[in-house]
Structure 1
């Protein structure tokens, strides 16, 4: 679901247009706010976390400062005036902000930006900022996709236990997500084509990739952007990501790695050379991974006699949980892990930042597909190994 429920503009890395210091002013008016309150403006300049504060007087407050380039920022209102440390302790956890947080993510850029609302900054309206106008247009564009994704998620959650264990049901849900991904990608590609000079196009670009990003798909879109956007800090970050993706793009030789199996014995990917190998990144705590298990079991049993196998790479940290999931889901193929969670060295090597994720490798060690699940994976295996 995280691939669909985008917070397009909030909490992105700083994005650059110019090299010279530029003055910004943010003026805010909340017409019906009551009692003393404090406003906090939070943003990053490079690796430095900048926090500014202002008293809310009669619903009004403002911020002024200098930025070297347009960047994303967050604005929070402490309605109880409890102080920043207590406010953070009570409202923010590793999982993110609580529902009680009154906050707004927006683009901070040169010139005068006006924010107006009633008693909440979350529902306030931003005017006077071309970049935030573009962001508003992008949010409106993808709203239909987000709504459809919520519907699919709701249908999956309402499924019975038997349905959830059914490969056919999981394939049907996955097919709906795949169709929605394609719809979203076309919307985002059109936005980028119409807004090549907008920093917001970087946010659109980062979300065209889906769960299995490909340099071959992303780079042509990146090349459509203006020189200013491509040379911005965010643009350079995406260019670096594209270069990393080329290491595991289709046709590339799969990078080799070795990790221990469930018995503590090392297994090297290259030791499976000569077979089609599905390198499957997953974890016991990953709901979508576990939901895909019936389908993987089905396909493994279907094709294991035709020079095909699976190598599971777990992003678990708790070995007991990992082993219990393998047994519960009936995963009969080789399983390995370094038990470092998201720090798994193979996941870092393959630039895996979301799971489930998979790479299909041919007998010569070349990557021939990635990110395939459900019927799409079955169709690819049938194409390569023949119909059974």
Structure 2
């Protein structure tokens, strides 16, 4: 798993100039068989500024298209063929990039989303990503049967729901799908280790920075900083490097030792509450959602903790990622019996260009995976982070025991 000697030599040979971009800009040419005319649009979601950025577009005539321009830093983009509602991701950089494909090879996933397999040459980042994908092949082969079982279980659930199956029947089918998914978890962990090993051993690689940007919110602050600090200055100055730095800065604000970010919101009962209302007490903030199965599964344990420690000076605040579906939020709180503590929505709003995060509590605490719990002391200082980018729930239990000494 940790032997990359031959791979490192290959990357050093093929991608030694990976972080150097030509001043001439990019030229992207495409030949997509099976489409006479149309339009292709290339864009990406800028996670630093939280906005969708359109890079370029071109007319497709007899399957051919061409785009020319210049970008400040390499990025992973998504190319959408508007007339076909079909697209593909690739790495865009200032070089001569050639794209070839055939519409007959387009596939649809279980949700009806169409994707197009493509052959791309001229992008060093794309080539490096394909080398890394080959490293994942043995692990993906192990998950093939499990992945198929998961897809089939989901399909049975959707079909049963269409036919008006009972709640009990749907629950059984849902449990089957969840069981299939849980069996794949060890292999996801294996691929994460593979990615982190790659990051650690390729400090001059923009692709390694891309990998880190994708998992930065699920690893500890200490580990994220260690990886980032090993990158060369050129990589740190890239879009991927800046994105990592942005996420690390946010994570610092939601990690032990930092002052907890203040927030004010209207709770589930219509009452305005602020974090400062609970100064002088310990506060456990639970970031969750009605649609998050691990969150819901952990609620019985949280109820036990609340009943054990609330009388000793602990307040719980549930912050739900259900802004788009308040009814589901209310229903989940009632069904799980967690209305005994405070509940508010995270405050994420949609805007014409993406999302309005000006009042987003989750953003202030760098929450990117659920469930995540933040423990705050009576002085308003974070003393524990559990879940995304932090420790596990067992560590949280030990922290409570240490604070109250089992009293």
Structure 2 length-normalised TM? 0.68
Q: What secondary structure does 2:269 align onto? A: coil
Aligned residues: 343
Q: 2:94 aligns with which of 110, 115, 119?
A: 110
Q: Which one scores higher on RCO, CA 8 angstroms, separation ≥ 6?
A: 1
Distance 1:270 1:171 in 2: 41
Residue of structure 2 equivalent to 1:94: none
Counterpart for residue 6 of structure 1: none
Q: Is the 8 A contact 1:202 1:235 kept in 2?
A: yes
Hey, what's the Cα distance between the residues in 2 that align with 1:291 and 1:203?
Answer: 32
Q: Which has the higher helix share?
A: 2
**CA deviations over 1:140-168 (Å, ceiling 9, x no partner):** 44563797599489399799848989xxx
- Per-residue CA deviation, residues 96-151 of structure 1 (Å, 9 max, x unaligned), is xxxx7432211122333233344447222222322111111333445637975994
Q: Tell me, what secondary structure is at the counterpart of 1:360?
A: strand
Q: Give RMSD over aligned pairs.
A: 4.2
Give unmatched runs, 5+ long, in structure 2.
1-17, 107-115, 158-168, 350-356
Q: Is the CA contact (8 Å cut-off) linking 2:283 and 2:376 kept in structure 1? A: yes
Q: Distance in 2 between matches of 1:68 and 1:55?
A: 26
Q: Distance in 2 between matches of 1:302 and 1:176?
A: 35
What is the match of residue 187 of structure 1?
A: 194
- Normalising by structure 1, we get a TM-score of 0.70
- Give 1:194 shift: 3.1
Deviations 1:12-44 (A, max 9, x none): xxxx956874232333344xx335233514136
Contact 2:386 2:392 in 1 (8 A): no
Aligned counterpart, 1:248: 254
- Once the two structures are overlaid, the 10-residue window that deviates more, 187-196 or 315-324, is 315-324
- Per-residue CA deviations over 1:53-72 (Å, capped at 9, x if unaligned) read 13343x54444444444333
Equivalent residues of 2:21, 2:93 under 8 A apart: no
Trace 1:233-382 onto structure 2 (pairs within 5 A): 233-273=239-279, 275-301=281-307, 303-304=309-310, 308-317=314-323, 319-337=326-344, 340-342=347-349, 343=357, 344-372=359-387, 376-382=392-398
Give me the whole-angstrom Cα distance separating, in 2, the residues matched to 1:44 and 1:116: 20
1:50 to 2:55 alignment? yes
Which residue is equivalent to 2:222?
216
Query: By how many angstroms is 1:193 displaced?
Result: 2.6
Q: Distance in 1 between matches of 2:173 and 2:88?
A: 39
